[in-house]
């Protein structure tokens, strides 16, 4: 926790083990909620790693998580394929 004060950071990453446990009511969801609240109170962005299902994404959105990443969106890609994926995603977001 001391590092949150000492290092010049702008985001706090939520480990996939906590995201995985969110589907179960209880501690997993409570821990994610606590991390999001702490981060936002410190003006940090939250990034949830290991998002694999629509249910996890919905839970993260309800908790106020800022960004989610994981297999729900895409498998890891080589750089060129990643750029093409981003271009396609941007076109969909713009309604093209």
Dump pLDDT digits (tens) for 59-72: 999 999 999 999 99
Q: Which residue has the higher pLDDT, 38 or 4?
A: 38
Query: Which of 67, 71, 76, 75 has the alpha carbon at shortest distance from 20?
Result: 71
Q: What is the pLDDT of residue 6?
A: 83
Q: What is the pLDDT of residue 89?
A: 84
- Whether residue 45 contacts residue 66, with contact meaning beta carbons closer than 8 Å, is answered with yes
Mean model confidence pLDDT for the chain: 90
- Whether residue 32 contacts residue 66, with contact meaning beta carbons closer than 8 Å, is answered with no
Place of tokens 């990443």: 69
Domains contained in the chain, CATH given: 2-94 (3.20.20.450)
Is the pLDDT score of 24 beyond 80?
Answer: no
């Amino acid at each position: 926790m001391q590092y949150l004060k000492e290092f010049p950071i702008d985001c706090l990453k939520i480990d996939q083990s906590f995201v995985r446990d969110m589907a179960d009511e209880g501690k997993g969801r409570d821990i994610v909620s606590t991390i999001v609240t702490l981060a936002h109170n410190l003006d940090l962005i939250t990034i949830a790693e290991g998002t694999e299902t629509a249910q996890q994404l919905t839970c993260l959105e309800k908790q106020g998580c800022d960004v989610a990443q994981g297999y729900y969106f895409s498998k890891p890609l080589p750089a060129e394929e990643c750029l093409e994926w981003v271009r396609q995603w941007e076109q969909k977001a713009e309604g093209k």
